[in-house]
């Protein structure tokens, strides 16, 4: 039943609802209401949200879309084939046709000269028409998660682009025309099959973010040193054996990810990156960490997981801003006392090493909330642990612990304590002080049965597991 709105308003609502069986019928109704084109399109964004998108395109074709009205955006169109009628939306500024299984882009897209943002990501597109180069107003072009192997040379005409997303395609190389995009601020080319980068990438001097991770790169062009505005550089999951010394020019760099490369030697240029706050050189076959690491005094996060490191230099203590240190799966047999200088650390992971003891200086890390000690050779925890009063997570699985220090009662904020796979014979009543404890894992310890029941009674609200 129609509401109490006027007949004209009800017919308008019916027209815009998309419930009419044919657009021609809708146009007849519109004419019967003496609606002119301007009235029909006075809020074209609303039209787009009410009409099925094909209806909008038909409308556009019927009216030869030439008014000053602008369609600012379209919803996800759910097209497998992008219809050539798209050309009639000549005032379009934003177009999103993502997640639609589209396989090709019609040449007519080149007629949308007012486009500023184009999103064609998450489709099955294998190539772009050369007409893409006519969209010279484009600022944002998103093409991630398609099946593109190359870009037309005309991509170099898009000199206003500030964002280009190419991740998750099948590129083996980038054409030299990429160097024409001198206004690019963000370039994502991760998860492709790149074996090299063109030297022209050095022309992208406005770049702030560059993602070339998950490729097959064996070297970087020296021209990468021209990208002096870079703040974020992701090169993880490649096959790099070295980093060009020119990377030292990237003095504004804040985040550098070199995870899963084949560096063997810590790149000598890295300590010159004085503004680095995040550094990841995990799984890179490193055998030694140089003393120059101490020059990175702004570091807040350092990840050196799964290397072949046998020691940390004393200069590690100079990283006074560090909040997260992750060095599991190395060959450390001891930690330097200077680790106690890292007073801002909140998270420390030293699992899977060969540590037989912890330095008493660890008690100076009073901001720690997470401490991971799994898979070492620890026979005891130091009494200094009592000073870690902000600790919420303590993991010490697969060690050789025979007892728990009485000082553990000071860790009143502890929520999770994992001591499974040790040699614990006894746990004292001091454990009862951990009133915030939610999980206590004690599997595979030779605790007597009566003591297990006692522990449960001390911690009535905690999930305690023995087997």
Instruction: Give the pLDDT confidence of 99-111 residue by residue, as tens digits.
Output: 888 899 999 999 9
Give one DSSP letter per residue of 41-74, joined into a string: TTTHHHHHHHS-HHHHHHHHHHHTS-SS------
Express each pLDDT in 15-26 by its tens digit: 333 444 444 444
CATH architecture designation of domain 378-467: Alpha-Beta Horseshoe (3.80)
CATH number for the segment(s) 287-360: 3.80.10.10
Residues 6+ apart with CB under 8 A from 26: 15, 20, 55
- pLDDT-derived band at 294 (thresholds 50, 70, 90) equals very high
Query: What pLDDT does 70 receive?
Result: 52
Residue whose structure tokens are 């697969």: 398
Q: Do the two domains 287-360 and 378-467 of this chain adopt the same fold?
A: yes
Q: Tell me, what's the pLDDT at 57?
A: 57
Query: pLDDT class for 82, splitting at 50, 70, 90?
Result: confident
| pLDDT at residue 423 in the model | 98
Does 76 have pLDDT greater than 80?
no
Residue 467: per-residue pLDDT = 86
Q: Could you tell me how many residues make up the chain?
A: 467
Q: Which residues contact 98 (CB under 8 A, 6 or more apart)?
A: 76, 119, 120, 121, 122, 123, 142
Q: What is the pLDDT of residue 242?
A: 96
Contact at 8 Å (CB) between 165 and 184?
no
Residue 223 has pLDDT above 50, yes or no: yes
Cα distances from 149 to residues 174, 182, 240, 265, 435, in angstroms, run 9, 22, 22, 33, 58
Given a cut of 90, whether residue 10 has pLDDT beyond it is no
102: Cα within 13 Å, side-chain hemisphere: 27
pLDDT-based confidence at 461, cuts 50/70/90?
Answer: very high
Whole-angstrom distance, CA of residue 356 vs CA of residue 422 = 13
Spatial separation of the C-alpha atoms in residues 210 and 323, rounded to whole Å = 25
| More confident position, 232 or 96 | 232
Q: Is the pLDDT of residue 72 over 70?
A: no
Query: Over 80: is that where the pLDDT of 34 sits?
Result: no
Q: How confident is the model at residue 71 (pLDDT cuts 50, 70, 90)?
A: very low
Confidence of residue 31 (pLDDT cuts 50, 70, 90): very low
> Whose CA is closest to 414, among 364, 354, 368?
368
Instruction: Judge whether residue 309 has pLDDT over 80.
Output: yes
CA angle 139, 145, 149 (to 5 degrees): 90
Q: What is the pLDDT of residues 135-187, one digit of tens each?
A: 999 999 999 999 999 999 999 999 999 999 999 999 999 999 999 999 999 99
Look at residue 44 in the predicted model and tell me its pLDDT.
45
Per-domain residue ranges of the chain: 287-360, 378-467
CA distances from 238 to 170, 261, 336 (A): 15, 5, 32
What are the pLDDT digits (tens) for 343-382?
999 999 999 999 999 999 999 999 999 999 999 999 999 9
Output the pLDDT for position 276. Answer: 99
């Amino acid at each position: 039943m129609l509401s109490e709105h006027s007949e004209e308003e009800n017919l308008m609502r019916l027209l815009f609802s998309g419930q009419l069986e044919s657009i021609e019928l809708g146009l007849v109704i519109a004419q019967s209401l003496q609606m002119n084109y301007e009235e029909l399109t006075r809020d074209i964004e609303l039209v787009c949200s009410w009409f099925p998108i094909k209806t909008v395109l038909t409308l556009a074709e019927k009216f030869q879309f030439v008014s000053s009205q602008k369609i600012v955006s379209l919803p996800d169109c759910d097209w497998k084939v992008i219809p050539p009628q798209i050309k009639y939306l000549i005032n379009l500024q934003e177009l999103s046709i993502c997640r639609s299984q589209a396989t090709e882009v019609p040449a007519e897209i080149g007629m949308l000269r007012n486009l500023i943002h184009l999103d064609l990501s998450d489709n099955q597109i294998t190539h772009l028409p050369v007409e893409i180069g006519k969209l010279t107003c484009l600022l944002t072009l998103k093409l991630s998660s398609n099946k593109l192997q190359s870009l037309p040379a005309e991509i170099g005409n898009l000199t206003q682009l500030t964002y280009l997303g190419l991740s998750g395609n099948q590129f083996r190389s980038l054409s030299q025309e990429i160097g024409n995009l001198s206004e690019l601020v963000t370039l994502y080319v991760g998860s492709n099959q790149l074996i090299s980068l063109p030297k022209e990438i050095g022309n992208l001097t406005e770049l702030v973010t560059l993602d070339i991770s998950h490729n097959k790169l064996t070297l970087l062009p020296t021209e990468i040193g021209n990208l002096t505005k870079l703040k974020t550089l992701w090169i993880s999951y490649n096959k790099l054996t070295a980093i060009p010394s020119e990377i030292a020019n990237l003095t504004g760099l804040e985040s550098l990810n070199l995870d899963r490369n084949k560096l063997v030697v810590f790149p000598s240029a890295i300590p010159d990156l004085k503004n680095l706050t995040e550094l990841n050189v995990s799984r890179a076959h490193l055998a030694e960490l140089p003393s120059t690491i101490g020059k990175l005094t702004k570091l807040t996060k350092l990840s050196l997981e799964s290397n072949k490191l046998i020691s940390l230099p004393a200069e590690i203590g100079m990283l006074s801003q560090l909040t997260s240190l992750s060095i599991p799966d190395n060959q450390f047999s001891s930690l330097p006392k200077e680790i106690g200088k890292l007073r801002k650390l909140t998270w420390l992971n030293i699992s899977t090493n060969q540590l037989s003891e912890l330095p008493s200086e660890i008690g100076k890390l009073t901001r720690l909330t997470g401490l991971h000690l799994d898979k070492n050779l620890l026979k005891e925890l130091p009494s200094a642990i009592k000073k870690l009063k902000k600790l919420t997570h303590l993991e010490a699985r697969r060690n050789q612990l025979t007892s728990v220090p009485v000082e553990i009662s000071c860790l009143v904020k502890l929520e999770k304590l994992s001591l499974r796979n040790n040699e614990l014979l006894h746990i004292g009543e001091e454990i009862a002080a951990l009133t915030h404890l939610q999980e206590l894992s004690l599997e595979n310890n030779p605790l007597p049965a009566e003591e297990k029941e006692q522990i449960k009674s001390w911690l009535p609200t905690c999930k305690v597991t023995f087997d």
